[in-house]
């Protein structure tokens, strides 16, 4: 328990300085009849995700971050395709969290991944990412965070700065957790229940090996906004969430090798690519989530990060 608590105090990648860590997260989302632009056709989008995180203390200053994330998205990329495509993403998390002082700490995480339809896995399915974050504690209720995320993708290089903050009200009811432009979560708790609003938006790409006229890849750029109801059981160790929201979740198909110069956040540079499938329009989605959370008590909050 001591090893886990130490890690929670210093790892912005996992816990964002709250008094808990989400060790296991499971989710399933469903969107019915996402329409193709200018075509009287639509597709159902079914998505699964799972995330496991396991911390290992090295000494009083350093902790090793380990874990794995998995997701899948099943949809029809083009009405002309014979069947739907399932896009898989498996990502490993290996990094180091460092406690610099009572106010400053940092995290650097390497993120190798395999992203494709997993039909014929090759070197084209492997990508590499890097996450870095520094946090500054303003007071026991408010923390700043500054960092960046970068990764190689099928279309080229993607990078984004991250600016955010974490706030928890003195009565522990109102919470803001933001790492923009990637994610944000605002919620208000009453008893064992809570209502909230969240945002998610980070792009991925997938190499496609299934039968197509030419080798292709998928450029996914999700922007998901949702509201949710949350209920806690087993002394707040398990959280169950029901979400409804709107997703502007593009799945653009391009020929392999048709790339752009680079992308910073939502801005693409040197993008002269030719999209091979119709535009998939935004749609309403429903999502169920289950989270296993470990809580801890700080001996002296004013001395913690």
pLDDT tens digits, one per residue of 225-270:
999 999 999 877 899 999 999 998 889 999 999 999 989 887 888 8
Residue (of 247, 235, 157, 155) closest to 198 by Cα position: 247
In the block, which residue shows the tokens 């989710």?
Answer: 27
pLDDT at 304: 31
Q: Whole-model pTM?
A: 0.87
Q: Is the dihedral of CA 162, 167, 173, 174 positive or negative?
A: negative
Query: Is residue 210 helix, strand or coil?
Result: coil
Strands 238-247 and 126-139: unpaired
Structure confidence by residue, pLDDT tens digits, 149-190: 999 999 999 999 999 999 999 998 999 999 999 999 999 999
pLDDT at 296: 52
Q: Are 200 and 224 in contact (CB under 8 A)?
A: yes
Q: Are 135 and 147 in contact (CB under 8 A)?
A: no
* Beta-bridge partner residues of 109: 95, 131
Non-local CB neighbours of 275 within 8 Å, separated by 6+ positions: 252, 253, 254
Q: Are 283 and 229 in contact (CB under 8 A)?
A: no
pLDDT at 211: 66
Residue (of 182, 5, 234, 207) closest to 119 by Cα position: 207
pLDDT at 129: 96
Max Cα distance, the chain (Å): 63
Sites in the chain below the pLDDT cut of 70 = 1-20, 211, 295-305
Phi-psi category of residue 257: left, alpha or beta, with phi > 0 → left and psi -120 to 50 → alpha: left
Q: Are 156 and 187 in contact (CB under 8 A)?
A: no
CA distance 246 to 109: 30
């Amino acid at each position: 328990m001591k090893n886990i608590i130490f890690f929670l105090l210093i790892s912005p990648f996992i816990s964002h300085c709250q008094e808990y860590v989400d060790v296991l997260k499971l989710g399933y989302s469903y969107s019915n009849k996402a329409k193709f632009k200018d075509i009287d056709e639509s597709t159902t989008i079914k998505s699964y995700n799972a995330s496991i995180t396991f911390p290992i203390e090295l000494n009083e200053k350093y902790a090793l971050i380990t874990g794995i994330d998995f997701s899948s998205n099943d949809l029809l990329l083009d009405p002309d395709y014979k069947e739907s495509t399932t896009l898989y993403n498996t990502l490993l998390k290996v990094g180091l969290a460092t406690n610099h002082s009572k106010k400053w700490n940092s995290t650097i995480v390497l993120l190798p991944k395999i992203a494709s339809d997993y039909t014929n896995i090759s070197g084209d399915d492997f990508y590499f990412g890097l996450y870095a974050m520094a946090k500054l504690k303003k007071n026991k209720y408010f923390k700043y965070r500054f960092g960046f995320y970068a990764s190689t993708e099928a279309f080229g290089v993607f990078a984004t700065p991250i600016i955010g903050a974490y706030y928890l009200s003195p009565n522990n009811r109102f919470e803001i957790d933001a790492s923009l432009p990637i994610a944000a979560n605002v919620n208000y708790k009453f008893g064992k229940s809570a209502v909230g609003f969240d945002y998610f938006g980070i792009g991925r790409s997938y190499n496609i090996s299934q039968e197509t006229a030419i080798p292709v890849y998928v450029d996914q750029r999700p922007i998901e906004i949702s509201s949710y109801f949350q209920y806690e059981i087993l002394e707040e160790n398990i959280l169950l969430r029901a979400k409804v929201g709107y997703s502007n979740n593009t799945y653009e198909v391009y020929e392999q090798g048709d790339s752009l110069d680079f992308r910073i956040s939502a801005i693409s540079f040197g993008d002269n690519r030719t999209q091979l499938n119709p535009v998939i329009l935004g749609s309403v989605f429903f999502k169920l989530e289950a989270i296993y959370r470990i809580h801890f008590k700080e001996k002296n909050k004013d001395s913690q990060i």
